[in-house]
A and B are shown apart, each in its own frame.
Chain A
Amino acid sequence: MSPFLAGLLQLLALVAALGLAYRPLGDHMARVYTSTRHLRAERWIYRAIGADPSAEMRWPAYLRAVLAFSFVGVLLLYALQRAQGLLPGSLGFASIDPDQAFNTAASFVTNTNWQSYAGEQAMGHLVQTGGLAVQNFVSAAVGMAVAVALVRGFARTRTGELGNFWTDLVRGTVRVLLPISVAGALALVACGAVQNFSGIHGVGQFLGTTQQWNGGAVASQEAIKELGTNGGGYFNANSAHPFENPTPLSNLFQIFLILLIPTALTRTFGRMTGSLKQGYALLATMAVIWTGFTALMLWTESAHRGAAFEIAGGAMEGKETRFGIAGSALFAVATTLTSTGAVNSFHSSYTGFGGGITMLGMQLGEIAPGGVGSGLYGMLIMAVIAVFIAGLMVGRTPEYLGKKIGIREIKLAACYLLVTPALVLGLTAVAMALPTPRESMANAGPHGFSEILYAYTSAANNNGSAFAGLAADTPWFNTTLGIAMLLGRFLPIVLVLALAGSLAEQRSVPATNGTLSTHKPLFSGVLLATILIVTGLTYFPALALGPLAEGLAS
């Protein structure tokens, strides 16, 4: 079967599965975030953390709760890694160095899951399951909570109240992430992923050497790794590892899990704002970008250029033969267009253009469909910018969902636009200008530059995937990438919540014939153009010197 046909069939299966899950999951999440009832288990949690689940929060209070919760998360995860050697369940691994522990703590709390360590050689059961997996759940729930707060900002009028962070956090975890993860983990186990607490085994090799293998709660971590768009693998090889992702079916299932919540959230958004069509318009823009990127990736990876490619049937270097071009390309696009960062193949080994597609996917802000929650709020920010420009062209003060996009709103959205380019381009420029960081590059020329550009792109956008080759476990990269992850996560959240607060205070402007309709294909097109031109163009010079120079040369 040609990679294109294989890709097409897998794509269709994926779209069908996502289509089936879209309605029930989107509606379920809308109910979860609007219900006034608390489950008994949830009441226990509220009592334990001393939160009043029905108290409404204005945006500063909501933000304080997000920041406090995340700060405590970083501290705990840092402490757990630093003390690993002293605690049980370490599999004999030592405590983690300060810079790497900081990097990993920042990485998992920000839903990035950049890993400068190799899981099976550094982290024991306790850190993996009690620290990293916990953050896989709650960091995803934080993203969803922030997105829901912004949706409430659009939906509510003349109030500054955005809901209750603790309720949103707990419900997102208990009612959405946990049940799907359990089902997902079982499905993965059925596909052959491992789930145990076994120790390290020595396995004999053909050449007489032994290789060390360890088990772990892999399937359960895999499920939330993809579902929560986290991406931090149990093993260094991530989803290329047969214990994590054994078969083409499990591969497709993992892609499904990655895209599941971010796409369904557009329906939740439509439900909560009272117009499903508004959600479909966002979904349409996401879908066009996603299918476009997937098609380009399939094309560039399967195009036969040179003898090696022709023999292998495409750019097979760095890809698993059990997934092939199609399974790998689909995965690579899905993981970089969301904030997942799990990989089942090595992006560094992709063709020049292929590497460029993964980078551009992240640079667009990971909004097609994006991370859990962060994809929706990122897309809504772009919608605000698009509405502002297009709205002026219909001769009215721009409005989106009945809310005016005035000075304050545009100020916050414009600052949001600035954050990631400043981090990515600024830090990459500094790294390229200094001698030490460049020593980490494995290659010379454009490919070496791509390694560093990719690292900062991945960190600042909270993706977490790596362009293999870069030796990132150095104090410089651990620290700067950690900072990029923290700022890239929380600065946008500050701006999004401030925007939500300002929107919620407004009264709603009724739509008339003179109002720009934001639920029609025309607007989806405007949104697409805005995303490609406003965010895409920012990175054009940098991409030209990396993947484009490489891709055009072959």
Chain B
Amino acid sequence: MSTLTDPRTALQAPQVDHGPAGTRVGSGTLDPRLMLRSLPDAVRKLDPRVMVKSPVMFVVLIGSVLTTVLAALEPGDWFGWAITGWLWLTTLFANLAEAVAEGRGRAQAETLRRARTDTVARRVTGSGSGFGEERVAGTELRIGDLVVCEAGDTVPGDGDVVEGVASVDESAITGESAPVIRESGGDRSAVTGGTKVLSDRVVIRITTKPGETFIDRMIGLVEGAARQRTPNDIALNILLASLTIVFLLAVVSLQPFAVYAGAEQSMIVLTALLVCLIPTTIGALLSAIGIAGMDRLVQRNVLAMSGRAVEAAGDVSTLLLDKTGTITLGNRQAAAFVPVAGVSEAELAGAARLSSLADETPEGRSIVALADERHGPYGPEARADGAEWIAFTARTRMSGVDLDDRRVRKGAARSVTTWVRSRGGEVPGDAGEIADRIAAAGGTPLLVAVEDAHGTRVLGVVHLKDVVKEGMRERFGELRRMGIRTVMITGDNPLTARAVAEEAGVDDFLAEATPEDKMALIKREQAGGRLVAMTGDGTNDAPALAQADVGVAMNTGTSAAKEAGNMVDLDSDPTKLIEIVRIGKQLLITRGALTTFSIANDVAKYFAIIPAMFAVAYPSLDRLNIMRLASPESAILSAVVFNALIIVVLVPLALKGVRYRPAGADAMLRRNLGLYGLGGLIAPFIGIKLLDLLISLIPGIG
């Protein structure tokens, strides 16, 4: 058992990286071959019943069909065929974007599916004296069934361990090869179907129906089958649909105006104009952006039960973080040796070290480590052979060691002073002062006393303190710039809590927190209109996880916690909440940026197409041809080709998400407006001009 790694400590190493590369939410690479492989899927998505879900692209599809018919009626017209071809490509590129996004998820689903091989379950029958076992297929298990798993068995379904303790290999779902402990009772009882029991025997109560297990849901999520549209996604779609209708009106009403002007337009040209004006770029990439956003979470081993939760993550304004394990390393550590007057620090350190040599608690180990670091190395004479170890008990509140020539004690101030006095020793006045000072600073004072030939006396105080993880202060500063307030939750007294809070740089703290306090805090924040995110793993966290807008349950947690939260972190790393917030924001920014880009594109397209359509009837309108495009045909074709190609060009951006650096809203808006607003205004002027130069080189055009 001692070889097992507790996942909490294994994964709590701070995963902070500075530097520009680290602050960017990373992304999977886009393999060009994936585009090719997704082509059949893209064609399959041309089904109108599928396309109708995206109103913008549905209009393009109708336009493609219409121009095909018109081109077929006049087969000799190369222009009609060229427009038709590029309209179909526009539709296809949109589907390709979605197919590529889904394809990446599918590869992950494949890996998961391998874990879901059909298992045979050993179901417990009867109870008491009639206790027995029967072998049934994993798919026949129902909620409440009890199954037995022994070393080598695959867990047949999700459930809670109700009896025994076992080490479990969860690499199938977490990718983490170190096994974890699962035991009945407490917060580490949940097991996931498809994982493997490595040692011992446990009885598991099944808590999900077959087909709805964690792995099934995970597969559904990454494949996008259970993908729901998120509120912002729907709202954006409504805006895009209304813009499409506006431009449809503008184009449909144009024909009577054109007829009056003596420049009746062909349906092919009108369709081309319409497709160029409606926001096809964002319409084509919208669903890929959503799928890729979920995918980015999955790549970080976070499962979001709904897209809504991912979006809510971007809106979070209050983050509740547990102190222990999230903000601090989890245990108090020796930070300093403070001797009383007349004692050297080395003497105090030596005594403290001696008393801690057999102390296997993290505090004890940290005292030895600090003494070695400051005053080491210690020779063999510092070994305590044949010593009698005095273990810490709740009653004595101190521990120590008895050697032949001396006794050392360390512990709570009151206990140690009582011990010294009972042995006739003196407690110097500054010992109490030092202890109080340390306590006031939020640390824990440990008094060290010795009894030897010189009598019984206090040597000094060991300053134990919570060690804040490296880089946390920077992270909280980053969050503050993003407008997110962090609240530290701890069971410590307010004094200690304040000290840790100040050191870590959190905005607020909740000391001596009970689950009820936590719940009340969440409700209070929400009543003020703030969205709250938190992590949790215990059953008593479940109500708060359910109440929070973003509740990330640790995979090591109980199934109650996992049910209550709307995300599960397979790595059980509470600091990942920060990452989740970033991904949520990046998802929204990508949508907004591409929408802006798409709308800004229209200006250039007007300047390409309107003169091309009407310069014959009103020669003065040729002055609007500021790009000096070669001919009306090549101008219209260039605009249509640009419109199609820009989708392909932006697919990687849609999948990776736009570059995101934590910053205030104003700085972020200025940057994105410059890049995607101004860029969207200028890029098509250049692109269309270049395409026109190319197209006009083709003999017979221009």
Interface range, B side:
35 or more
User: Is B258 engaged at the interface, CB distance under 8 Å to the other chain?
Assistant: yes
Report the nearest A residue to B261, measured CB to CB.
Answer: A545
- A498 and B480 CA atoms in complex are apart in Å by 36
Interface positions, chain B 657-692, Cβ under 8 Å from A, are 660, 664-666, 668-670, 672-673, 676-677
Question: Which of B254, B256, B317, B673 sits near A514, CB closer than 8 Å?
Answer: B317
Contact A540 B606 (CB under 8 A): yes
Contact B669 A533 (CB under 8 A): no
Contact B589 A449 (CB under 8 A): no
User: Is B591 engaged at the interface, CB distance under 8 Å to the other chain?
Assistant: yes
For the complex, count residues of A whose C-beta is within 8 A of B: 64
Quick one: given A395-B589, A549-B614, A553-B618, are A541 and B529 in contact (CB under 8 Å)? no
Report the nearest A residue to B593, measured CB to CB.
Answer: A393
- A275 and B257 CA atoms in complex are apart in Å by 46
Contact B665 A414 (CB under 8 A): no
User: Is A479 engaged at the interface, CB distance under 8 Å to the other chain?
Assistant: no
Contact A418 B246 (CB under 8 A): yes
User: Is B228 engaged at the interface, CB distance under 8 Å to the other chain?
Assistant: no
Contact B599 A513 (CB under 8 A): no
Classify the secondary structure of B's interface with A: helix
Interface positions, chain A 511-554, Cβ under 8 Å from B, are 512-517, 520, 522, 526, 529, 533-534, 537-542, 544-545, 548-553
Question: Which of A426, A449, A513, A516 sits near B480, CB closer than 8 Å?
Answer: A513
Question: Which of B234, B246, B311 sits near A407, CB closer than 8 Å?
Answer: B234
Contact A533 B231 (CB under 8 A): no
List of B residues within 8 angstroms of A397 by Cβ: 231-232, 311, 314-315, 588
A321 to chain B, nearest CB (A): 30
Contact B592 A541 (CB under 8 A): no
Count of chain A to chain B residue pairs whose CB atoms are closer than 8 Å in the complex:
215
Contact A529 B677 (CB under 8 A): yes
Contact B317 A541 (CB under 8 A): no
Classify the secondary structure of A's interface with B: helix
User: Is B242 engaged at the interface, CB distance under 8 Å to the other chain?
Assistant: yes
Contact B610 A541 (CB under 8 A): yes
Interface positions, chain B 553-588, Cβ under 8 Å from A, are 584-586, 588
Contact A421 B595 (CB under 8 A): no
B422 to chain A, nearest CB (A): 57
Interface-side segment among A13-21, A311-319, A428-436: A428-436
- A552 and B239 CA atoms in complex are apart in Å by 34
The 0/1 profile, CB within 8 Å of B marked 1, for residues 372-401 of chain A is 000000000000010011111111110000
Quick one: given A432-B256, A513-B481, A545-B258, are A407 and B250 in contact (CB under 8 Å)? no
User: Is A88 engaged at the interface, CB distance under 8 Å to the other chain?
Assistant: no
Question: Which of B235, B251, B260 sits near A388, CB closer than 8 Å?
Answer: B235
Contact A396 B252 (CB under 8 A): no
The 0/1 profile, CB within 8 Å of A marked 1, for residues 240-268 of chain B is 01110111011111111111110000000
Report the nearest A residue to B666, measured CB to CB.
Answer: A517
- A533 and B603 CA atoms in complex are apart in Å by 8
A509 to chain B, nearest CB (A): 4
Contact B669 A545 (CB under 8 A): no
List of B residues within 8 angstroms of A534 by Cβ: 243, 599
Report the nearest B residue to A408, measured CB to CB.
Answer: B235
List of A residues within 8 angstroms of B528 by Cβ: 510
Contact B253 A426 (CB under 8 A): yes
Quick one: given A534-B243, A548-B621, are A395 and B314 in contact (CB under 8 Å)? yes
Contact B529 A410 (CB under 8 A): no
Given A392-B592, A429-B254, 19 more contacts at CB 8 Å? A389-B599, A392-B591, A395-B584, A396-B314, A397-B232, A397-B315, A407-B235, A410-B238, A417-B243, A421-B249, A425-B253, A432-B257, A514-B665, A541-B257, A541-B610, A545-B254, A545-B258, A548-B624, A549-B621
| B contact residues vs A (CB 8 Å cutoff) | 231-232, 234-236, 238-239, 241-243, 245-247, 249-261, 273, 277, 311, 314-315, 317, 480-485, 527-530, 584-586, 588-589, 591-593, 595-596, 599-600, 602-603, 606, 610, 614, 618-621, 623-624, 660, 664-666, 668-670, 672-673, 676-677
